[in-house]
Chains A and B, each alone.
Chain A
Amino acid sequence: MTILAIEDLTVDLGGRGLIRGIDLSLERGKVHGLAGESGSGKTMTGLAVLGLLPHGARTGGTISLGGTDLLSLSPKEMNARRGREIGTVFQDQSTSLHPMLSIGRQLTDHMRHHLRLDRAQARERAAELLGKVRIPDPGRALDRYPHQFSGGMRQRIAIAIALACDPQVLIADEPTTALDVTVQAGILRLLRGLCDDLGLAVLLVTHDLGVMSAVADVISVMRDGRLVETGPRARVMRDPADPYTRALLDALPGRSTP
């Protein structure tokens, strides 16, 4: 079932077309991977969904979520939707968590604002969320600060915050790029598990084709603001239709040697 549909999205900034007409849909319980090199527009796509495009960007096309075109909303209306219906996880966990607030506060503030819970309810739910992302000893963890956790743990906390208000959509932009490979494995398993259990519609933006291969159900490849290929993961990675996709796969180390 389609939860979010992007139709003919265009984004212009300062006369340059950053996204030049793309179509993409996010399905319930499925991970849609968006691949491409830097400058392809893949991060911009996530920002467009979130309403966080840079100052001066102009958009065209539609992004429909629950019957509303997100691009037509005012900043205030978008604020209300952003935390509640769309969760986000970014690459750099050292800057996406507030360094001076306990993680309990960071989770509960968010929830109390959107879900109107009282302190006790919010705290209970926060502990539950931390359990879901497998942070050990969630009760005590609530009172700790981000710097007391490792990089991988902080990313799990960021995921917990993203899921706090039970969003339907999760945008993950290079969520594991800054992490060690063994830590990354844990996060990828977590993301896949959460997507399956909670029926999330996930947009996973990454340049790492290995990550794509492990977690994505559908893959779209972007280049210079356009989509060059979309299809099921196995098909796109084993038998790419587009020469650019083929080139990306061939450029992988070890790929050209059988």
Chain B
Amino acid sequence: MSLLSVEDLVVDHRSPDRPPVRAVAGASLTVEPGEVVGLVGESGCGKSTLARAICGIAAPTAGSIDFEGRRVRPLGLRRRDPALTRIQMVFQDPFASLNPRRRVGRQIADGIRGEATPEELLERVGLDAGMAGRYPHEFSGGQRQRIAIARALAARPSLLIGDEPISALDASAQAQIAGLMRSLAVESGAGLLFISHDLSVVRLIADRIAVMYLGKIVETGPTAEVWDDPRHPYTRALLAAIPEPDGSGTLPAELPGDVPDPAAPPSGCRFHPRCPHAMDVCSVREPMPRDGVACWLYDSEGSAAE
């Protein structure tokens, strides 16, 4: 039984005066204990919505989310089921992650189960225990993110989710914080779902990668494999677009076109309008994930239709 098992999840965004937009259009994902899964994708792909649905902040429209064998219910007016407090999240904005009016030690103490102390937790995230009495505004962005991690860790989560936890930090802090999250999760046997648009960092810390495009997961696999041999055309385009800091002056490859409006996705495979290998079947039927990739190029059923 996986730690986290998401199946065919559909999440709609509702806004007043407009029809609901399908941010996640059927995504499936698993995370095992002690495993780091990197969820990557560009703006509008739905990765944040997926993260929020997993921890219950956003309500799913269809599909299931199972954590340690039990169904995850969205957060409502009732207190969170104690079993579900073992899912914790670290958010993107370090300046909104902490209550500006309370001392950080108190905020960390909120989550503590058992005998840990805020001071111990501060040290585990690489901060000085003496800082427990300070207020959030006295810390830098990177430090605040460490405090947010400490607060999440206090609850001894078995699943830690990071929703773009490093995007708002300085380049030098990014790799450090990502590495910290990985080591803290792995050493406590927890699973880590790390969401980011920055592939280079995800490559460093993730055991497996899942690539999302327009509400769907298009490819999953062990990090090294996906990196060295990307199968889905979108994954290939994504990797080819990363400028390598090798001093060669090579311009990264461009992916023509724009991301379609999630309210009006293309028919069939959502990537087909921009795909260099699009076939007839691609605009007609959506490919199902098979062996970690959802693409007609690898699906004999599709090519049999040729």
Contacts and interface: CB of A to CB of B under 8 A. Distances in A.
Do A and B contact each other directly (Cβ–Cβ < 8 Å)?
yes
A249 B238 contact: no
B243 A188 contact: yes
A254 interface: yes
Contacts of B204: 253-254
B42 A181 contact: yes
Given A150-B258, A184-B243, A185-B255, 17 more contacts: A150-B259, A152-B258, A180-B43, A181-B252, A182-B42, A182-B237, A183-B42, A188-B252, A210-B242, A213-B243, A213-B246, A214-B249, A233-B247, A234-B247, A238-B247, A253-B175, A253-B203
Contact of B201 (A183, A238, A253): A253
Interface class of chain B by DSSP: loop
Interface residues of B, number: 35
Contacts of A237: 245-247
What 8 pairs across the A-B complex have the smallest Cβ distances?
A237-B247, A210-B243, A180-B42, A214-B243, A182-B255, A185-B241, A209-B245, A185-B252
B197 A181 contact: yes
Given A150-B259, A189-B254, A182 B238 contact: yes
Interface of A: 37-38, 150-153, 180-186, 188-189, 192, 207-217, 233-238, 249, 251-255
A210 B250 CA distance: 10
Contacts, number: 107
Nearest to B179: A253
Contacts of B248: 213, 234
A255 B245 contact: yes
16 contacts: A150-B258, A150-B259, A182-B237, A182-B255, A184-B243, A188-B252, A208-B243, A212-B245, A213-B244, A213-B248, A213-B249, A214-B243, A215-B249, A216-B249, A234-B247, A234-B248
Contacts of A238: 246-247
Contacts of A252: 175, 200, 245
B304 interface: no
Contact of A185 (B43, B201, B243): B243
Contacts of B171: 37, 207-208, 251
A36 B244 CA distance: 17
Contacts of A185: 240-241, 243, 251-255
Contact of A214 (B203, B240, B252): B252
Most chain A CB inside 10 Å of its own CB: which residue of B174, B242, B243, B246? B243
B197 A211 contact: no
Interface in B49-85: none
A207 B199 CA distance: 17
B241 A182 contact: yes
A251 B170 contact: no
B192 to A, nearest CB: 16
A129 B300 CA distance: 46
B92 to A, nearest CB: 14
Interface in B131-152: none
A257 B134 CA distance: 37
A119 B152 CA distance: 60
B15 interface: no
B116 to A, nearest CB: 30
A152 to B, nearest CB: 7
Given A181-B42, A253-B204, A213 B247 contact: yes
